[in-house]
Amino acid sequence: MGKKDQKEKERVEAVLELLRKQAPLTVKQEKFCNNACVERFLRAKGDSVRKAAKHLRACLSWRESIGTEHLIADEFSAELAEGVAYVAGHDEESRPVMIFRIKQDYQKFHSQKLFTRLLVFTLEVAIQTMPRNVEQFVLLFDAGFFRSASAFMNLLLTALKIVAEYYPGRLHKAFVIDPPSLFSYLWKGVRPFLELSPATMVVSSLDFEESLEFNDFSSYPRASSLRFDPSSIPSTAKIGSCSSSRFSFTVSHHFDSLKPWYLSLADTSGSKVGPTSPSPSMLGPALISPLNARSLSFASPAARTPRGGIYGGSASRPAKKSLFASTPLPERTNYGKNDAMSINHPRTPRPSFLQSPALFFRKECHVSRADKSRESFLPFLKFYRRPYDEMIYRSKMRPPLGGLISIVSPQLKRRHMSVSQRF
C-alpha cells in the first residue's frame, strides 16, 4: 500500500507541475486542484499524467468562461422559487441528491448558457454540502413535464456531457423519471456513445404507486380471489361441462369469482387412455396424467404413429403411400399384442448439468434491466416525493453561492426548519 500511495502522490505532483509550467495558477485554482481532484482526473484518463493535465487545464479554462466563482442564488431567484433544480437531501452514504424538474417551455424563454449556469450552480451547491469522505452525487431528472422526447434528450445530453467532462468521477447514479414515450428509442441509439450511460437508468413512477396504497393485496377480496383453490368449488355443482377422455372442463355457480372455470384431470368420461390389453384385470383402469394427457402434435414421428404399426397399418396390410413428402420415419417394425406394455411414451429428456449448466442458474441470476433500475431507485424515491421547500434549500448554501439571503443568522434558519418539519 505504501508504494501505491507514493506512486499516486508522484503522479499528482507531476500533473500540478505541468499545469504550473503552462500558466501560473491563481489562489482559487490552487484550491480547486487539490489532491482528490487531480486523482479523479487521473482515474478518468487511465493514470496518464499528460492527458490528465490537459483535461484539467481545459476544465479550469471552462470554469473561468462560465464564471463559477461569481455564481450566486440571486441570479436564479425564479428557478429557486419554482423548484426547477435543487438539492433534495443526502442518501444513506451522505451523497447529495439533486432533482431537476425542468419544463419543456424553459428552453424557449431561456438560453442554453443560462441552463448551463443553473446546472453548474446546483452542482457546486451539492459539492459544498458533501462531507470530507464523500466525492459523488446522485441526479434525478423528472421528465414528466416534457411532451417532446427530442427536447428532453437534448437537455439530458447537455447535462451528462458537462458532468462527464468537467466533473469526472463525481456521478454515482443518474435516473430519468417518466420520460416521453419515444424517449426509449432515442436512448437506445444514443446510449452506446455516452460515457455516463452505465450509470444512467430510466424508471417510471407508476411502478412505485403500490408502495403507498397497495402494500398488501391479501386485504382486498377481489385481488385475493385470483389465487384459485380447486377444493373450494364442488365438483357436482355445474352449470355446463365438457368432458373427454383426457380432461373435463367445468363451470361453477359462483359468478363473483374471477376464475369460475377450472380444468380437471379426472377421468369423467369413463373411457380409458393409454395402452389397453385383452386382460383388463392385469392392467386395471387407465390413469390420467400430464404425460398421457398432453398433445403429441409436436412429438417425434414415432409418437405420432398409431400403435398398430409405424406406417399406420398392420403387418398384413400396409398403409397407402401419400403423394406429399413427409418427415422421414424410422425403419418399419411390427408390434405384437403382448408387447403393448413395453411401449415407452416419448418424454422430454431432463437437462444435464454437464450439457447446459446455465439452465440451473438462469432463474436466479437472470434479472432484467428494468428490475435493476427499479431496485436501485428505491432508496431515492423518498427524495423524489418529498415536497420542495425553498428556504431549506437556501439554508444549505454557503457564501458566496447563497447570495444576500445566505447572510441570515443560523438561528432564523433553525427556527424555519423546525417549523417546516412540523407541517
Which of 406, 274, 403 minimizes the C-alpha distance to 345? 274
Residues 18 and 123 in one domain: no
- Retrieve residue 19's grid coordinates: 499545469
pLDDT category of residue 107 using cuts at 50, 70 and 90: confident
CA 362 vs. chain centroid, Å, equals 18
Q: What is the reported pLDDT for 403?
A: 60
Residue 336 in domain: no
Do 35 and 165 belong to one domain? no
State the greatest distance between any 2 C-alpha atoms of the chain, in Å, as a whole number: 109
Picking from 49, 66, 83, the residue at the C-terminal end of a domain is: 66
Indicate whether 292 belongs to any domain: no
- Report residue 124 as a C-alpha cell: 457546486
Place of cell 482515474: 43
Tell whether 53 and 78 lie within a shared domain. Answer: no
Residue 19 and residue 140 in one domain = no
Please classify residue 130 by burial: count the beta carbons closer than 10 Å to its beta carbon, then call 0-12 exposed, 13-18 middle and 19+ buried: middle
The structure's pTM equals 0.61
**Do 130 and 198 share a domain, yes or no?**
yes
Determine the distance from the C-alpha atom of residue 396 to the mean position of all C-alpha atoms in its chain, rounded to a whole number: 32
Under 8 Å between Cβ of 238 and 252: yes
pLDDT digits (tens, 9 = 90+) for 246-289: 445 455 555 444 444 444 444 444 444 444 444 444 444 444 44
Q: Give me the percent of the chain exceeding a pLDDT of 70.
A: 57
CB 333 within 8 A of CB 305: no
Does a structural domain hold residue 17? yes
d(CA 264, CA 249): 7
Q: What is the pLDDT of residue 97?
A: 97
Would the pLDDT of 321 be above 80? Answer: no
- Judgement on whether residues 130 and 173 belong to the same structural domain of the protein: yes
Within-domain flag for 415: no
Domain, as residue range, for 20: 1-66
Indicate whether 221 belongs to any domain. Answer: no
Task: Residue 129: give its domain's CATH number.
Answer: 3.40.525.10
Say if residue 219's pLDDT is above 80: no
Strand 96-100 to 200-203 pairing: unpaired
Looking at the fold, whether 97 and 194 belong to one and the same domain comes out as yes
Regarding whether 149 and 41 lie in a shared domain, the answer is no
Q: Does residue 22 have a pLDDT over 80? A: yes
**The pLDDT of residue 215 is above 80:** no
Amino acid code (one letter) for 39: E
| Model pLDDT for residues 347-366, shown as the tens digit of each residue | 555 655 555 555 445 544 45
Same domain, yes or no: 161 and 31: no
Same domain as 106, residue 159: yes
Rg, C-alpha atoms of the chain? 35
Q: pLDDT of 45-64, one tens digit each?
A: 999 999 999 999 999 999 99
- Tell me which of 278 and 176 has the higher pLDDT: 176
Pair type for strands 248-251 and 96-100: unpaired
Look at residue 18 and tell me if it is in a domain. yes
In 3-state terms, what secondary structure has residue 392? Answer: helix
E-strand stretches of 143-296: 171-177, 200-203, 240-243, 248-251, 261-264
Q: Please report whether residue 100 resides in a domain.
A: yes
Q: Do 84 and 42 belong together in one domain?
A: no
pLDDT of the residue at 98: 97
Q: Is residue 392 part of a domain?
A: yes
Give the tens place of pLDDT for each residue, 304-319. Answer: 444 544 444 444 455 5
Q: Using the 3D structure, point to which of 15, 40, 66 is the last residue of a domain.
A: 66
Q: Say whether both 52 and 86 belong to one domain.
A: no
Number of structural domains found in the chain: 2
